C-alpha cells in the first residue's frame, strides 16, 4: 500500500520510448489521480543506465576516490595553472606595452599627431573582437589547446617584436591590428579551457589565479618599462621603446615554445594521465551538472554552438554585466597617463603604477576564494564595484596628490576583484553543452572589449589631471554592471525555484533521472 508521502509526491514520469504515441520522449508531472499537471517540451532524456560513473570510478571506495581526485587536481594545477598565468602575463604585456612606450619616445620617433596614438591603442581591439568567437569554436572543435594556444602565442610574439621596426603611423597601426587579431585566441580560449577541467565550485578561484596574470603584468609592465627607459635608451642606436617591444616579444616566443611541452589538452585528449585519472577527470565534470561535458567533434557544430548561446537570454544579461565591468576598467589601458597627472618624472611615474596592481592581486585572490567557498556570486561582484565607483568620484573631485593616488590605488582592485568572479559566473550560468559555453564565453568577452575602442579617446593629455569625462563614464558603467548583476540574480533565483518544483528550465540540466537531479542542480547566485 502506498504511503501518504507517496500519494502526495509529484513524480516525474518519462514517456515510454517504445511507444508510438505522439507524446514519446516528453516528461510529465502526474498527480496520483492520473491528472497531468505539466507537460514539458521534448528533451533528450537519459535512461538510468546511460548516466553513471565508469567502472573504474564505480569500484572505488569514497576514500580512494578522494585520494585519486586530490592527486589529479594537484597534477592538473601544476601542469596547467603556472603556464597559463605566465602566458597571460606576456599576453597582457604585449598588448599594453604601448602605454609605457609613450613615456619611452614612441610619439616623437614616429611623429604621431593629434589622436594617432589613441587610434593605435584602440585599433588592437578591432582585431581582438573579430577573432574571439571563431577562435573559441575552432578550439572546441579540434580539442587540442596544448597546440593551438602556444601556436597563437608564437605568432603574436613575432608581431610584438616586429612592432619595434615601425617607422610611421601606418606601420604601427597594422602591427597593432594584427596583434589584436591573434591575441584574441588566448583569453576566451583559456576561460573555456579552465571550464573543461574544473567543476563549478573550483572554477572561481582558478579563474582568479589565471586573471592574476593580467594584474601581475600591470605591475611588471611598470617595472620593466622603468628599467628599459632608464637604462637602454640609445643602446645599439635604438630608442628605449623599440627595446621594450623587442625584449617582451622575444620572451613571449620562448615561453610559447616551452608551453607546447607542458600544457595538457582536454580531459578526453590528454595522453599523460593514467586511465584511472582520465576517467575521473571526465566523470567529475559530468557528475557536477549531471551531463557529459565532452561531445565528439562531429557533434560540436559551430552553428549549433552559436545558436544555443544567442538564444539564451542569460547570455545577453551577462554581456551587459561584463561590458559594464570592462568599460569601467578601461582606465588601466592608460594607467601610466592617469598616474602621470601627478606630475612626477617618467621613471617614478612608471614605478607608481605598480602598487595598485599588487593590491589588486591580493584582493582578487581573497574575494574569489571566498566566492568559491560560499558559492555566492552577486555580492562578490557588486561590493568591489562600489569601491571602484568611490575611487572614480574621488579622482574626479580633487587635484590634490594624496587623495588622487589613493583613488588610483582603489580603482584597479575595485574593478578587477569582482571581474574574475563575473567571468566564472558565465560558465556557472551557461554550463552545457560545451559548444554553447565556448561560443558564449567568446561572444561576451568580445562585446565587453568594445569599450576599449572608444575609451582610448577619453584620456588625452588635455583632459588631465581630473579626466572628468572618463571618470564619470566609468561610474556610469559601474552602475550598469551592478544593475545587470542584480537582473541576473533575480533571473537565476526564479529558475532555481522552477527546478525545485521539477519544471523544465531551458539551459539547465533536465535529464531524468540524473545524478545532478538527485543532488539538486542549481544555478549559482
Q: Are residues 307 and 248 in the same domain?
A: no
Q: Is residue 47 part of a domain?
A: no
Distance CA 419, CA 411 (A): 13
353 has pLDDT over 60: yes
Whether residue 31 has pLDDT greater than 60: no
Boundary of a domain, candidates 287, 309, 324: 287
User: 21 or 507, which is more confident?
Assistant: 507
Q: Give a yes or no: residue 108 inside a domain.
A: yes
> Diameter of the chain by CA atoms?
94
Assess whether pLDDT exceeds 70 at residue 24. Answer: no
Residue 462 lies in a domain: yes
Of 316, 271, 266, nearest to 292 by C-alpha is: 266
* pLDDT score for 290: 57
**Which pLDDT does position 40 carry in this prediction?**
41
Residue 185 pLDDT level (bands cut at 50, 70, 90): very high
Domain assignment present for residue 44? The answer is no
Residue that wins the pLDDT comparison between 143 and 342: 342
Residue-wise pLDDT tens digits, 481-515: 999 999 999 999 998 888 888 777 766 655 444 44
For every residue of 24-82, DSSP letters joined together read TT-EEEE-TTS-EEEEPPP-----TTTSS--HHHHTS-HHHHHHHHHHHHHHHHHHHHH
Higher pLDDT, residue 515 or 469: 469
pLDDT of residue 410: 96
208 and 331, same structural domain?
no
Last residue within a domain, chosen from 287, 309, 327:
287
404: domain CATH number is: 1.20.1250.20
Residues 323 and 277 in one domain: no
Cα(446)–Cα(137) distance, rounded to whole angstroms? 13
Domain presence at residue 317 = yes
Q: By C-alpha distance, which of 252, 223, 226 is closest to 240?
A: 226
Q: What percent of the chain has pLDDT over 70?
A: 84
Q: What is the reported pLDDT for 120?
A: 93
Residues 280 and 305 in one domain: no
Distance (Å, rounded) from C-alpha 49 to C-alpha 322? 40
Between 100 and 432, the more confident residue is 100
One domain, residues 238 and 149: yes
Residues in the chain: 525
Across 34-43, 79-88, 196-205, 291-300, which has the greatest mean pLDDT? 79-88
Region 51-58 average pLDDT: 79
Helix (H, G, I), strand (E, B) or coil at 353: coil
Say what the alpha-carbon torsion angle 136, 141, 142, 148 is, to the nearest 10 degrees. Answer: 0
Identify the pLDDT of residue 9. Answer: 37
Residue 373 has pLDDT above 80, yes or no: yes
* Residue 209: all three cell numbers together: 589565479
Among residues 256, 287, 318, which one ends one of the domains?
287
Same-domain check for residues 308 and 278: no
For 105, residues 6+ apart whose C-beta sits below 8 A from its C-beta are 233, 239, 240, 241
315 and 282 share one domain: no
Q: Which residue in the block uniquely carries the three cell numbers 594556444? A: 149
Find the radius of gyration of the CA atoms of the chain.
Answer: 25
- pLDDT score for 507: 61
Residues 202 and 310 in one domain: no
Q: What angle do CA 128, 89, 131 make, to 5 degrees?
A: 15
- The pLDDT > 90 percentage for the chain reads 44
The string of pLDDT tens digits covering residues 404-434 is: 999 999 999 999 999 999 998 988 888 667 7
Query: How many Cβ atoms from other residues are within 10 Å of residue 320's Cβ?
Result: 20
Quote the CA–CA distance of 521 and 525 in Å, as a whole number: 13
Examine the domain organization and report whether 224 and 367 are in the same domain: no
φ/ψ (deg, to 5) at 14: -95, 130
Cis peptide upstream of residue 465 (ω within 30 degrees of 0): yes
| Residues 270 and 351 placed together within one structural domain of the fold | no
Query: Distance between CA 524 and CA 403 in Å, rounded?
Result: 38
Count of domains for the chain? 2
Rounded mean pLDDT, 450-454: 88
Mean pLDDT of the 299-326 span: 86
Parent domain of 379: 301-503+519-524
| Three-state secondary structure readout of 147-180 | HHHHHHHHHHHHHHHHHHHCCCHHHHHHHHHHHH
Looking at the fold, whether 447 and 320 belong to one and the same domain comes out as yes
Q: Which residues pair with 13 in a beta bridge?
A: 28
Residue 282 lies in a domain: yes
* Residues 315 and 270 both lie in one domain: no
Q: What integer pLDDT is reported at residue 15 of this predicted model?
A: 38
Q: Average per-residue pLDDT in the chain?
A: 83
Residue 49 has pLDDT above 70, yes or no: no
Question: Does residue 283 lie in a domain region?
Answer: yes
pLDDT at residue 302, as a whole number: 63
User: In this structure, is residue 67 part of a structural domain?
Assistant: no
Give the residue from 226, 89, 113, 231 showing the smallest Cα distance to 172: 113
pLDDT of residue 417: 94
Is the predicted pLDDT of residue 113 greater than 80, yes or no?
yes
Residue 47, pLDDT score: 41
Amino acid at each position: 500500500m502506498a504511503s501518504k508521502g507517496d500519494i502526495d509526491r509529484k513524480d516525474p514520469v518519462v514517456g515510454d520510448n517504445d511507444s508510438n504515441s505522439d507524446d514519446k520522449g516528453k516528461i510529465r508531472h502526474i498527480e496520483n489521480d492520473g491528472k497531468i499537471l505539466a507537460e514539458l517540451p521534448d528533451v533528450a532524456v537519459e535512461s538510468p543506465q546511460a548516466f553513471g560513473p565508469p567502472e573504474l570510478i564505480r569500484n572505488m571506495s569514497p576514500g580512494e576516490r578522494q585520494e585519486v581526485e586530490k592527486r589529479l587536481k594537484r597534477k592538473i594545477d601544476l601542469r596547467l595553472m603556472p603556464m597559463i598565468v605566465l602566458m597571460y602575463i606576456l599576453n597582457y604585456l604585449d598588448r599594453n606595452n604601448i602605454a609605457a612606450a609613450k613615456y619611452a619616445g614612441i610619439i616623437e620617433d614616429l611623429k604621431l599627431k593629434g589622436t594617432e596614438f589613441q587610434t593605435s591603442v584602440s585599433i588592437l581591439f578591432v582585431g581582438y573582437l573579430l577573432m574571439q568567437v571563431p577562435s573559441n569554436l575552432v578550439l572546441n572543435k579540434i580539442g587540442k589547446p596544448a597546440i593551438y594556444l602556444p601556436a597563437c602565442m608564437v605568432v603574436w610574439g613575432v608581431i610584438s617584436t616586429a612592432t619595434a621596426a615601425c617607422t610611421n603611423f601606418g606601420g604601427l597601426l597594422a602591427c597593432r591590428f594584427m596583434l589584436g587579431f591573434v591575441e584574441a585566441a588566448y583569453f576566451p580560449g583559456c576561460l573555456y579551457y579552465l571550464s573543461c577541467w574544473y567543476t563549478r565550485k573550483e572554477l572561481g578561484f582558478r579563474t582568479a589565479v589565471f586573471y592574476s596574470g593580467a594584474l601581475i603584468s600591470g605591475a611588471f609592465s611598470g617595472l620593466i618599462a622603468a628599467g628599459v627607459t632608464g637604462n637602454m635608451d640609445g643602446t645599439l642606436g635604438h630608442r628605449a621603446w623599440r627595446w621594450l617591444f623587442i625584449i617582451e616579444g622575444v620572451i613571449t616566443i620562448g615561453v610559447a615554445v616551452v608551453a607546447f611541452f607542458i600544457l595538457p589538452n582536454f580531459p578526453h585528449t590528454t595522453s599523460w594521465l593514467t586511465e584511472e585519472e582520465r576517467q575521473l577527470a571526465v566523470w567529475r565534470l559530468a557528475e557536477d551538472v549531471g551531463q557529459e561535458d565532452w561531445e565528439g567533434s562531429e557533434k560540436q557544430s559551430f552553428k549549433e554552438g552559436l545558436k544555443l548561446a544567442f538564444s539564451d537570454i542569460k547570455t545577453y544579461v551577462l554581456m551587459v554585466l561584463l561590458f559594464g565591468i570592462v568599460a569601467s576598467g578601461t582606465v588601466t589601458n592608460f594607467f601610466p597617463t592617469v598616474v602621470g597627472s601627478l606630475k612626477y618624472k617618467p621613471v617614478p611615474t612608471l614605478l607608481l603604477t605598480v602598487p595598485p596592481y599588487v593590491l589588486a592581486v591580493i584582493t582578487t585572490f581573497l574575494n574569489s576564494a571566498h566566492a568559491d567557498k560560499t558559492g555566492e556570486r552577486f555580492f562578490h561582484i557588486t561590493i568591489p564595484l562600489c569601491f571602484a565607483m568611490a575611487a572614480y568620484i574621488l579622482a574626479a573631485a580633487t587635484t590634490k596628490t594624496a587623495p588622487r593616488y589613493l583613488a588610483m590605488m582603489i580603482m584597479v582592485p575595485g574593478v578587477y576583484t569582482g571581474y574574475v568572479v563575473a567571468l566564472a559566473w558565465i560558465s556557472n550560468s551557461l554550463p552545457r553543452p560545451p559548444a554553447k559555453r565556448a561560443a558564449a564565453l567568446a561572444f561576451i568577452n568580445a562585446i565587453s572589449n568594445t569599450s576599449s575602442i572608444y575609451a582610448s579617446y577619453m584620456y588625452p593629455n588635455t583632459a588631465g589631471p581630473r579626466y572628468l569625462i572618463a571618470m564619470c563614464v566609468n561610474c556610469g558603467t559601474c552602475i550598469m554592471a551592478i544593475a545587470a548583476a542584480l537582473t541576473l540574480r533575480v533571473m537565476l533565483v526564479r529558475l532555481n525555484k522552477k527546478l525545485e518544483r521539477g519544471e523544465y528550465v531551458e539551459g539547465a540540466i533536465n535529464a531524468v533521472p540524473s545524478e545532478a537531479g538527485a543532488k539538486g542542480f542549481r544555478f549559482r547566485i
